[in-house]
């Protein structure tokens, strides 16, 4: 046993990491927390890499192709976020390398906070009170009943399930749609095309938490909106590519959608002259529904790196065929 532990420690001693987050203000926090986890190991920030042949693990968000061309002996790639659509689409990661996405309770918590805020805001009609305040109008609306308010979540994975479970205690009727059937306490599970149609017909609010894949690209379109009860609300926190923007505008104009809370857009940042910014029935946030927290992410990645060194399966291994 001592020998095994010593072998693992010895292997860890040689573990070497490269970090690159294209959107981070600074990669320093990742370096600091990784150093705490693996003191004295080689931790470098791309492109300043002294010994490219010896790098074992890359921690990346939107990396350049060159990174993979110049690091020939990588053992695995850690995605510094939950969604791997950009990484898979860029096709830069060699086929033989495992990609591990971020499954992190702190990321779940961030999404739970955002989705709960958006659902409660609609439930308590605060979007109407926000607009009334702008008109200096003392508007008093009839109260709504959580027990008759139905929330449907597209994507009942890590984030979708966490949000569904957080909404149940408020008394909402919570439903979720996924590829496979789920057993989540208090949540009605729907799957397949038929399941989607049945669920949509009952959604006063629909939350999108699907991964962006060939199958889900453009799913938030006129066809989907036409299946919702009139006046439904949309909370979109997945990826911009799910949403057909003109169809959102049309659904709002026709009253199919009453309001939309949008965190993600096909082109980010959203153009400053885009109509959505001033639309009275749209709330915009700049892709912040849940952001990777370096301290938390590094704990998860370090645990996974140790698993890989021991020959164990990491948590969050991406299925490239499925695209998530
Ligand atoms: P998961 O992979 O854990 O869950 C994805 C869910 O979507 C699963 O339930 C899966 O079904 C379902 N699904 C996938 N494809 C289909 C399909 N064709 N039909 C029906 N259901 C489908 O992902 P996460 O919950 O971790 O993350 C979801 C997405 O959230 C990420 O991909 C990312 O785009 C987005 N995100 C956005 C953030 C933001 O700040 N706005 C932050 C973090 C993530 P099954 O379980 O049956 O496979
Ligand atoms: C993610 C994101 O996928 O921040 O983690 O969008």
Which residue positions in the chain have pLDDT lower than 70?
Answer: 1-13
Exposure string for 111-143, b = 16+ CB within 10 A, e = fewer? bbebbeebbebbbebebeeeeeeeeeeeeeeee
The total number of residues shown for the chain amounts to: 324
pLDDT of residue 9: 43
Q: How far is the CA of 88 from the centre of ligand 1 (A)?
A: 15
What count of other Cβ atoms lies within 10 Å of the Cβ of residue 303? 12
| Angle (CA) 12 64 30, round 5° | 40
Q: What one-character-per-residue DSSP string does 263-319 give? A: ---SSSSPPTT-GGGG-TTEEE--S-SS---HHHHHHHHHHHHHHHHHTPPPTTB--
Residues paired with residue 96 on neighbouring β-strands, in sequence order = none
Closest Cα partner for 268 from 23, 70, 72?
23
114/34 Cα distance (integer angstroms): 28
pLDDT of residue 2: 45
Mutate to test the pocket of ligand 2, among 211, 291, 324 (most ligand atoms within 8 A of CB): 291
DSSP-based three-state secondary structure for 208: strand
Cβ of residue 290 lying under 6 Å from some atom of ligand 1: yes
Residues paired with residue 220 on neighbouring β-strands, in sequence order = 243
pLDDT of residue 198: 98
pLDDT tens, residue by residue, 201-222: 999 999 999 999 999 999 999 9
Cβ of residue 181 lying under 6 Å from some atom of ligand 1: no
pLDDT tens, residue by residue, 260-313: 999 999 999 999 999 999 999 999 999 999 999 999 999 999 999 999 999 999
Q: Which atom of ligand 1 is nearest to the CA of 181?
A: 47
230/84 Cα distance (integer angstroms): 34
pLDDT of residue 40: 85
Give yes or no for a contact between 151 and 204, defined as CB atoms under 8 angstroms apart.
Answer: yes
Q: How far is the CA of 82 from the centre of ligand 2 (A)?
A: 5
Catalytic residues: 239, 287
């Amino acid at each position: 046993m001592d020998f095994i532990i010593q072998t693992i420690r010895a292997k860890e001693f040689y573990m070497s990491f490269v970090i690159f987050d294209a959107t981070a203000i600074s990669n320093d926090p990742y370096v600091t927390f990784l150093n705490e986890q693996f003191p004295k190991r080689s931790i470098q920030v791309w492109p300043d890499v002294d010994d490219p042949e010896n790098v074992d693990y890359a921690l990346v968000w939107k990396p350049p192709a060159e990174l993979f061309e110049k690091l020939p002996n990588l053992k695995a790639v850690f995605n510094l976020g939950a969604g791997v659509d950009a990484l898979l689409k860029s096709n830069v990661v060699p086929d033989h390398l495992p990609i591990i996405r971020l499954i992190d309770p702190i990321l779940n918590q961030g999404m739970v906070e955002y989705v709960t805020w958006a659902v409660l805001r609609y439930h308590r009609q605060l979007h109407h009170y926000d607009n009334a305040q702008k008109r200096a109008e003392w508007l008093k609306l009839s109260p709504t009943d959580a027990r008759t308010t139905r929330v449907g979540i597209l994507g009942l994975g890590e984030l979708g399930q966490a949000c569904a479970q957080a909404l149940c205690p408020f008394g909402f009727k919570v439903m979720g749609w996924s590829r496979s059937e789920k057993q989540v306490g208090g949540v009605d599970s729907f799957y397949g095309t038929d399941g989607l149609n049945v669920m949509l017909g009952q959604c006063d609010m629909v939350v999108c938490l699907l991964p962006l894949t060939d199958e889900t690209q453009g799913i938030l379109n006129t066809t989907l909106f036409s299946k919702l009860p009139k006046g439904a609300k949309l909370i979109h926190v997945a990826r911009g590519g799910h949403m057909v923007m003109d169809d959102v505008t049309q659904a709002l104009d026709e009253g199919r959608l009453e309001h939309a809370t949008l965190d993600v857009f096909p082109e980010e940042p959203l153009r400053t002259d885009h109509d959505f910014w001033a639309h009275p029935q749209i709330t915009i946030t700049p892709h912040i529904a849940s952001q990777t927290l370096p301290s938390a992410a590094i704990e998860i990645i370090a645990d996974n790196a140790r698993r890989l060194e021991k020959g164990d399966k990491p948590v969050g291994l991406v299925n490239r065929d499925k695209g998530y």
